[in-house]
Amino acid sequence: MANEVAVTLPFHIDYSGRVSFTQDQKVMWADRVKSVIGTAVRERVMRPTFGTLIPYALFESEDDASTEIKVEIQKAFNSQLPTLVLTDSTVTIDTYTNTITANITYQLPNSTVITTNLGVLSLAGSNPPYEEIL
């Protein structure tokens, strides 16, 4: 795993005009986690079981949504990210700014512990929800 190279996400071209790659394990795993957690189940045609049911939790009450998001994160780590160890997940719902923020802390295969921000979901006015990757 020491010589592993992956395309950086989001996909972009580097300063020399080539596809951007990374060898940083933290970046690779954070990209993988964001990919799994940020994908809705049945969103990918060839992999219909890939992802989580987090988008459906948005229609629940605050407490239920927070609980469902945490459960979906745990399920994703158990089934789709089994080489990582989930140590903590926090979900914050701010009714004043109409945002949902989720942060997860997990241990990499090399025992490094990192925290990944899963983004902010804005529920402002009549606009559809959108995700900002911080």
14 falls within a domain: yes
Express each pLDDT in 14-43 by its tens digit.
889 999 888 888 888 988 898 899 899 999
Q: Which domain holds residue 111?
A: 6-132
Six-digit token string for 34: 């964001």
Q: What is the CA radius of gyration of the chain?
A: 16
Domain count, the chain: 1
Beta bridge partners of 99: 94, 122
Report the 10 Å Cβ neighbour count for 41. 17
Q: Look up the CATH number of the domain holding residue 46.
A: 3.10.450.40
Q: What is the pLDDT of residues 56-111, one digit of tens each?
A: 887 888 888 889 999 999 999 999 999 999 999 999 888 777 778 899 999 999 89
> Does residue 1 fall inside a structural domain?
no
Domain presence at residue 96: yes
The H-or-E segment that residue 102 falls in is strand 99-107
Distance CA 78, CA 72 (A): 10
